[in-house]
Amino acid sequence: MSAVYRNFSQAELDAAYNNRAAEPGLDSIKADWDARSKALYMQAKVDRDLAYGGGARQRLDFFHASTKGRPTVAYIHGGYWQTNEKEPNAFIAEGLLAHDLNVALIEYTLAPAASMGMIVSEIRAVIAWLVARLQPDLGASRRLVVAGHSAGGHLTAMAAGQPGVSGAIPISGLFDLEPIRLSYLNALLKMGLDEAGANSPIKLPFPPVPMSVAVGGAELPELVRQSEDYVAALSAAGRPVRRLLVPKATHFTILEEIARPSGSLAMEAARLAEM
| Residue pLDDT, tens place only, 185-228 | 999 999 999 999 999 999 999 999 999 999 999 999 999 999 99
> Span 59-71, mean pLDDT?
98
> Span 251-268, mean pLDDT?
98
pLDDT in tens, 75-131: 999 999 999 999 999 999 999 999 999 999 999 999 999 999 999 999 999 999 999
pTM exceeding 0.85: yes
Residue 275 pLDDT: 85
State the Cα–Cα distance between residues 80 and 65, nearest whole angstrom. 29
Burial class (CB in 10 A: 0-12, 13-18, 19+), 160: buried
Q: Which residues contact 98 (CB under 8 A, 6 or more apart)?
A: 261, 266
Q: What are the structural domains, with CATH classification, of the chain? A: 10-274 (3.40.50.1820)
State the Cα–Cα distance between residues 155 and 149, nearest whole angstrom. 9
Residue 121 pLDDT: 98
> Taking a C-beta distance cutoff of 8 angstroms, is the pair 100, 65 a contact?
yes
Residue 112 pLDDT: 97
Nearest residue to 138 (alpha-carbon basis) of 232, 24, 52: 52
State the Cα–Cα distance between residues 243 and 229, nearest whole angstrom. 11
Residue 104 pLDDT: 98
> How much of the chain exceeds pLDDT 70, in percent?
100
> Taking a C-beta distance cutoff of 8 angstroms, is the pair 17, 185 a contact?
yes
